[in-house]
Amino acid sequence: MKKILISNGRVVDPSNNVDRVQDVYVAEGKVVGLGSAPDGFVAERTIDASGLVVAPGFIDLAARLREPGFEYRATLESEMDAAMAGGVTSLAIPPDTDPALDEPGLVEMLCYRAKKLNRAHVYPVGALTLGLKGERLSEMAELLEAGCVAFSQANVPVVDTTVLMRALQYAATFGFRVWLQPIAPFLSRGGHAHDGEVATRLGLAGIPVAAETVALYTYLELAKITGARLHITRLSSAAGLALIEQARAEGMDVTCDVSINHVHLCDMDIGYFNANCHLIPPLRSQRDREALCRGLAEGRINALCSDHTPVDDDGKQAPFAESEPGATGLELLLPLTLKWAERAGLSLSDGLARITSDAAKIVGITKAGHLSVGARADICVFDPAAHVTITRDNLRSQGKNTPFLGMELPGKVRHTLVEGQVMFEG
């Protein structure tokens, strides 16, 4: 590995409360110095970061790479390239592949293939139940040994609450964290948009906020009974956030995240059946969006994620109600975080914390998400002043489905380093 000097950059490291211009020294895949060179350090390559920001590589809590099983939508290679272009160096992978990530061999194969590509670090989230069917528990201990960092049902709810309680009991016994997306299956069944005026006007079947709060209340009650460590994924409503805050006030250990789509968009953005806005959970009201933005800014929502879900063109060109839900987001995580932070009146450091140090805590990563000496040299160098218009041609993801097509967004990644190797230059 080359010794690399990243010179004259504005180093922003939220974990260590650092925001100043200084040099960063990289060797043997690690950060070996900040400000002044270690003894005997001779750079084999220098990256001039004048006018640029040097930050920890971003950590995405929800990135579907579509392998195994959905290679026609995207491939591991295409989505890893997208991650590098977006400065995302660590990815938590939901278990809703085909087959689901419910066997150690599948997890090991995914980790092996990702490591062979030598790009972003992959952190699989294992299936909580076999086949995500909500009937029998997966072998969580074996999945953990194979490389899983947590356990989830993705967006497939467990209907049988007895099974869910047993899963939480098992997870609590061994200290595993369970990631759950709050979806009440019967309240959301057949729905495609937020149950409000927009859905009524467009003639779309609605999904009420109660579909989130009923499920969330159940999850929190069962977690309270079992003592499970719970993370709520992709929160979408003000009422849902209020329930989490109430649980925390009662002493519960519960964290939550929100997607970049839900802090920028609401149900009004569906317009005239824009299928790129067909998401799970649905885009909710403007009031919900503003509540989520405030909660994220104040740290009541712990992290921001892309909820990257590449869909092939055929899946999005169908009528709204028949289209495939999801949006691509890996390459938009940085610009949409910058745009949200600016609107919220936050410092650059506070904004980046939601996709670096705060996200790292949820995944349980200690060697990334910060630029301390000795940390893994996962680094993103970006230009905060550059603006990029989002087009199908400049998205490296195989999925071109995003509500932000045609929009000009701030922030352009110039270099992405993974374990001290330059994996992207733009």
Could you list the active site residues? 307
What is the DSSP-derived secondary structure letter of residue 205?
P
What is the DSSP-derived secondary structure letter of residue 30?
E
Distance in angstroms (rounded) separating the CA atoms of residues 376 and 19? 19
R_g of the chain computed on alpha carbons = 21
Q: Looking at the DSSP assignment, which residues form a beta bridge with residue 65?
A: none
Helices (H), 203-237: 210-226
Q: DSSP letters along 233-299, please?
A: -S---HHHHHHHHHHHHTT--EEEEEEHHHHH--GGGGTTT-GGG--SSPP--HHHHHHHHHHHHTT
Closest-CA residue to 9 (of 415, 332, 285) = 415
Beta-carbon contacts of residue 219 (< 8 Å; ≥ 6 apart): 164, 180, 182, 230, 232
Does the bond joining 157 to the residue before it have cis omega, within 30 degrees of 0?
no
Q: Which amino acid belongs to residue 22?
A: Q
Q: How far is CA 76 from the centre of its chain?
A: 16
* C-beta neighbour count of 409 within 10 angstroms: 19
Q: Looking at the DSSP assignment, which residues form a beta bridge with residue 47?
A: 6
Beta-carbon contacts of residue 54 (< 8 Å; ≥ 6 apart): 6, 9, 10, 11, 12, 24, 371, 379, 380, 381
Q: How would you classify the pairing of strands 45-48 and 4-13?
A: parallel
Whether 403 and 277 have beta carbons less than 8 Å apart is answered as yes
Helices 333-344 and 286-297 meet at what angle, rounded to 10?
Answer: 90
